[in-house]
Amino acid sequence: MTAHILVVDDEPAIGSLIKEILEDEGFQVSIAENGQAARQLQRELRPDLILLDIWMPDIDGITLLKEWRGSGLIDHPIIIMSGHGNIETAVEATRLGAYDFIEKPLSTSKMLITINRALEMASLQRENSGLRKHTVTEPLGHSPIMTALREQVKRINQHNTSVLISGESGSGRTLFARYIHQNSQIYTGPFVQMRVAGMSSDNQFTELFGRHESNHMARLEQANGGTLFIKDIADMDDAVQARLLNSLENQSFLPNGSTELIPLKVRVIAATGHHIEQALTAGRLQEDLYYYLNIIPLHIPPLREHCEDIPELLEFYVNLFVNQENLPYRHFTVAAQNRLRNYSWPGNVRELKNLVQRLLILGNNHQIDVEEIEQTLTPSSRPTPMGNLSIYDLPLREAREQFERTYLEHQLQEVGGNVSKVASRVGLERTHLYRKLRALDIDPKQSSKNKK
């Protein structure tokens, strides 16, 4: 969908030039030459972004910005522009809710970069708003362990301090990160996730700090005003860790290739599956960054330590897949539930979720008994997606995802979790494979552990 931009400028020549440039870039553009026209067009057109000049004949841009932001009726980004700008004006504009401030004479490249970043940020915020409506409101389970963890999150959220989450793969670190954000004082801000494992140091720099010349928006900037969740923090390159710490302490960062600092107001939640003491001793996690992040530690225990929650988890995921993926409803017998309560769950809650999905897809009976559980828990007898015709009853997208997940998990098991070897075996470029694994929520390290 083409973004609609409203340009508010009292100089017709400048307005026409901006309109021509933006239309060449594929945007839809409208022009207002004064504050009154700007108000009217904003109400009628509901633009996706406003470029707002400070000096106009009937009202200045700062006053108009205050009016729009104070009304609460518009939430799209506003970029201030002025030929008389200074640092005080820029600070005042951003304090009042402007996305950014650009000076005249306008640099075409900077203007386009700022507009694209602002639109990307707005899109991300809308996406997060939608996710908040459809995600689990809180971690499941009424065991003493889970009850205590939820109470701990309440205490954590009395302050917007950094949090370091530890726990085994699949135990629910991402869920708790989202739960912390959704119940924090900045819940209306974006929640941005960055998964570090498997990324090269160059890609880590680009993802975290962006790349000015290619208009690659930094994760730090995307998360401004909200939460940045960094998964696998101990797998982050030492130089990236040092630069991240510097940015957090100075509350600003410099995008790669840029000379302009971007103010930073972000809460960081970091997670690791490594034992923290071992990660520090081995130098995987830098001490200075650890002390910055570990203001409030949160340890998520493995599923085997709160197995009394398993019946509730089973019921939840059965209903989830029935309602969201139209899979047939199946009921776990008491014997089947008891068997699963006594299983070690090396893959934790993620393994339980995948097991439920597999049983619903491949099973034929209404009941899931203990014999079927035993077969499913035995790797040699686990049915492959193509080994049972029920996969052909699925929509193409779901069937393809099931096959790809099982296929790639098998390949990772065969090579001990080595992603480079899998890329060579299956004929995929390594970067594309990493993206595929993240999309399918496959942890290479966990897949290598599952090989018996």
| CATH number of the domain that residue 106 is part of | 3.40.50.2300
My answer on whether 404 and 432 are in the same domain is yes
My answer on whether 118 and 12 are in the same domain is yes
What's the pLDDT at 55? 81
Residue 307 in any domain: the answer is no
Residue 76 CA to residue 121 CA, distance in Å, equals: 10
What's the pLDDT at 440? 80
My answer on whether 212 and 247 are in the same domain is yes
My answer on whether 253 and 344 are in the same domain is no
My answer on whether 258 and 199 are in the same domain is yes
Residue 311 in any domain: the answer is no
Residue 312 in any domain: the answer is no
What's the pLDDT at 138? 73
Task: Count up the domains in the chain and report the number.
Answer: 3
Q: Which domain holds residue 95?
A: 4-130
What's the pLDDT at 340? 95
Task: For tokens 């009304």, name the residue.
Answer: 71
What's the pLDDT at 389? 37
CB atoms near residue 422 (< 10 Å): 22
Q: Which has the closest alpha carbon to 361: 409, 333, 322?
A: 322
My answer on whether 325 and 438 are in the same domain is yes
Domain edge (last residue) among 106, 130, 154: 130
Residue 259 in any domain: the answer is yes
User: 277 with 234: CB under 8 angstroms?
Assistant: no
Domain edge (last residue) among 271, 301, 331: 301
Residue 338 in any domain: the answer is yes
User: 26 with 2: CB under 8 angstroms?
Assistant: yes
My answer on whether 165 and 241 are in the same domain is yes
Mean pLDDT by 10 residues, the chain (452 residues): 87 91 92 89 84 85 81 74 70 82 87 90 70 60 93 91 92 92 89 86 88 70 90 91 94 83 91 88 91 91 94 92 87 94 90 92 87 76 40 61 82 82 81 79 69 48
Residue 345 CA to residue 274 CA, distance in Å, equals: 18
CATH number of the domain enclosing 160: 3.40.50.300
What's the pLDDT at 383? 40
What's the pLDDT at 147? 94
What's the pLDDT at 382? 40
This prediction has a pTM of 0.59
Residue 315 in any domain: the answer is no
Residue 56 in any domain: the answer is yes
My answer on whether 100 and 189 are in the same domain is no
What's the pLDDT at 166? 93
Buried b (16+ CB within 10 A) or exposed e, 268-286: bbbbbbbebeebeeeebbb
User: 299 with 256: CB under 8 angstroms?
Assistant: no
Identify any residues that bridge with 311 across adjacent strands, giving them in sequence order.
none
DSSP-derived secondary structure letter, 256: B
Domain edge (last residue) among 268, 301, 334: 301
Identify any residues that bridge with 331 across adjacent strands, giving them in sequence order.
367
Q: What SS3 class is residue 102?
A: strand
My answer on whether 373 and 263 are in the same domain is no
Q: How far apart are the first and last CA of the chain?
A: 49
Residue 219 in any domain: the answer is yes
What's the pLDDT at 395? 59
Residue 3 CA to residue 98 CA, distance in Å, equals: 18
